[in-house]
Amino acid sequence: MEYNGGSPSREGATIVSPATPGGAGAVSIVRLSGPAAFRILAALTPLSPAGLAPRTLVRAEVRDAGGAALDDALIACFPAPRSFTGEDVAELHLHGSPAVVDAVVRAACAAGAVPAEPGEFSRRAFHHGKMDLTQAEGLADLIAARTGEAAAAALRQMRGGIGSEVGPLRERLLSLLAALEAAIDFGDEDDVPEAKPEQIAERVCEISSRLEPLLRSFEAGRRFRDGATVAIAGVANVGKSRLLNRLAGEERAIVDEAPGTTRDYLQAEVSLAGIPVLVVDTAGLRRTEDPVERKGVLRSRDVIARADLVLFVLDGGRAVEEVDREAFREAAGRPHLLVVNKSDLPAVATGEELAGGKEGRGVVRVSAKTGEGIASLAAAVARELAPSEGAVRAQAPLTRERHRLAVEKALSALGRAKASAAAGLSPEFPAADVREASRALAELLGEVAPEEVLDELFRRFCIGK
Ligand SMILES: Nc1nc2c(ncn2[C@@H]2O[C@H](COP(=O)(O)OP(=O)(O)OP(=O)(O)O)[C@@H](O)[C@H]2O)c(=O)[nH]1
Ligand SMILES: [Mg+2]
């Protein structure tokens, strides 16, 4: 394999970077990785790394090139290959001062290290087979996760959750391919019983049936990773802002009994059943002469058009009016739930006036005032946004467009393989498709990874990761 643990010119370079965020703190870590890591460490400290117990912290003074003391630090050596990158790695746990961190990085560079590029440590780890590509992506997602559930799913992916599903299927494709190739060579399928058309079709079907649930996990996996935008819409005074405050758990928006209170839109990020959701409160949809409110209504329409889901709010304490119907027609073009608010008041509207008699489906009764029904609303939102959310909790779902494309490619190649086997075509035909499916799965795991894919992934990592 060609070197792809970073820019080719950096092959053999020893890289250095802070591994902790900038700014003052209790501890900051500077990490070195590469063949000269221990030589550079020896230049910075009185330690002789060869004599140190691996993966054990020792205390030492860190000095600059002129021998001036920079800090008292704790140091750990991770000899290759048992390190994060698979190379020799040294970590310096410094006092969390940006000035000390800068000075130590400069001293390491003076001793022969080069500053790391974003994601270069992880890219080297991938290159040295410490993780497959989906695991590297899981690591990036774990760091970026916005909710506990998203973090848990990313952790499963980082630990190889996708590879453990896909790897064995790839093995099965390869052994099917071997049987097909044997049949091509011998030319007589009776000599290779497992390459009989029915056998091939059966094996292909089995593999497809394992890939299909994985593909279905994408919608939910993507939501947990990327989050979603949910707009609160409805006419004036139905309690949209109070609902936002209730969902956000804080007094975010001004609530008032006068209609037309909210002019601009307001947003709050909340976790709804583990999905990171940006909830946007909008100005009530109504005809108005007030020029500022009219601008607000235009903005509401924009927000509704961009939302992944609209919560259309009705005031359950009063009868549904023509303005509600008119506003609902605007919102109903988007995926939506009907929220009947003010359930603490005697029920006048039920939502069925708008839902067209579809009893219960997509209608949630809540009280933004008391909090009644809010948990059911959160659950209903999660169901709408991530229909197979159970998959996210149970396994490592597909999370990226790249994953989806690879699995779709594999499935469509398998579909063709099945068709040509069923049509009794000679084994060359299904073989070509099985080979393509197997390659698609190899791409998913990064076994064949074009340089651009790696560049694209790792440059999004932070420096030092
Ligand atoms: N009883 C009761 N009153 C509510 C509830 N939710 C909101 N209200 C009241 O309804 C009025 C309007 O609430 P807002 O949240 O400002 O309504 P809005 O839809 O944001 O209104 P605009 O911004 O004007 O479009 C206020 O007096 C709220 O206290 C509820 O669940 N129960
Ligand atoms: Mg409001």
288 lines ligand 1 (CB under 6 A): no
CATH number of 143-223+396-446: 1.20.120.430
Find, among 239, 279, 231, the residue nearest to 262 by Cα. Answer: 239
pLDDT at position 1, please?
A: 42
pLDDT in tens, 255-271: 999 888 888 889 999 99
Question: Hey, where are the domains in the chain?
Answer: 8-128, 143-223+396-446, 227-368
d(CA 392, CA 401): 16
For 66, list phi and psi in degrees, rounded to 5. Answer: -85, 0
As beta bridge partners, residue 276 has 271
pLDDT tens-place string over residues 20-32: 998 899 999 999 9
Cis status of the peptide bond prior to 427, with omega within 30 of 0: no
Would you put residue 239 in left (φ > 0), alpha (ψ -120 to 50) or beta?
left
Contact 70, 103 (CB under 8 A): yes
Global pTM value: 0.83
Q: Return the best residue to mutate from 232, 238, 241, 242 for the ligand 1 pocket (most ligand atoms within 8 A of CB).
A: 242
Q: Any idea which ligand is nearest the CA of 367?
A: 1
**Gap between the Cα atoms of 459 and 452, Å rounded:** 10
The minimum-distance atom of ligand 1 relative to the CA of 283 is 25
SS3 (DSSP) at 223? helix
Q: What is the pLDDT of residues 297-340, one digit of tens each?
A: 888 899 999 999 999 999 999 999 999 999 999 888 899 999 99
By most ligand atoms within 8 Å of CB, the mutation choice from 238, 343, 366, 372 for ligand 1 is 238
pLDDT recorded at residue 463 = 77
For domain 8-128, is the CATH number 3.40.50.1220? no
Distance CA 57, CA 34 (A): 19
For every residue of 64-106, DSSP letters joined together read -TT--EEEEEEEEEE-TTSSSSSS-EEEEEEEE-HHHHHHHHH
Ligand 2 centroid to residue 273 C-alpha, Å: 24
Cβ within 8 Å of residue 256, ≥6 positions away: none
Examine the pLDDT at 186 and tell me if it is beyond 80: no
Q: What is residue 6's predicted lDDT score, i.e. its pLDDT?
A: 61
pLDDT score of 173 more than 60? yes
Q: Average pLDDT for residues 450-454, to the nearest whole number?
A: 83
Report which of 74, 64, 59, 65 is spatially closest to residue 100, judged by C-alpha positions: 64
Q: Residue 272 has which token pair?
A: 């709804």
pLDDT, mean over the chain: 90
CATH of 227-368, one of 3.50.50.60, 1.10.287.3510, 3.40.109.10, 3.40.50.300: 3.40.50.300
Residue 44's nearest CA partner among 8, 22, 78, 68 is 68
Query: For 382-408, how does the pLDDT look when each residue is reduced to its tens digit (9 = 90+)?
Result: 989 987 777 666 788 999 999 999 999
CB-CB contact of 429 with 181 (8 Å): no
| Residue 89 pLDDT > 90 | yes
Q: For atom 17 of ligand 1, which residue has the closest CA?
A: 239
414 token code pair: 């398998």
Encoded tokens for 177 = 């391919």
Residue 236 Cα: closest atom of ligand 1: 25
Query: Are 338 and 320 a contacting pair, CB within 8 Å?
Result: no
- Other CB atoms within a 10 A radius of the CB of residue 159 amount to 16
Residues belonging to the chain: 465
**pLDDT tens column, 105-156:** 999 999 999 999 999 999 999 999 999 999 999 999 999 998 988 999 999 9
Does 227-368 match 143-223+396-446 at the fold level?
no
pLDDT at 424: 84
Structure tokens at 228: 């979603």
Question: Three-class SS string for 352-394?
Answer: HHHHCCCCCCCEEECCCCCCCCHHHHHHHHHHHHCCCHHHHHH
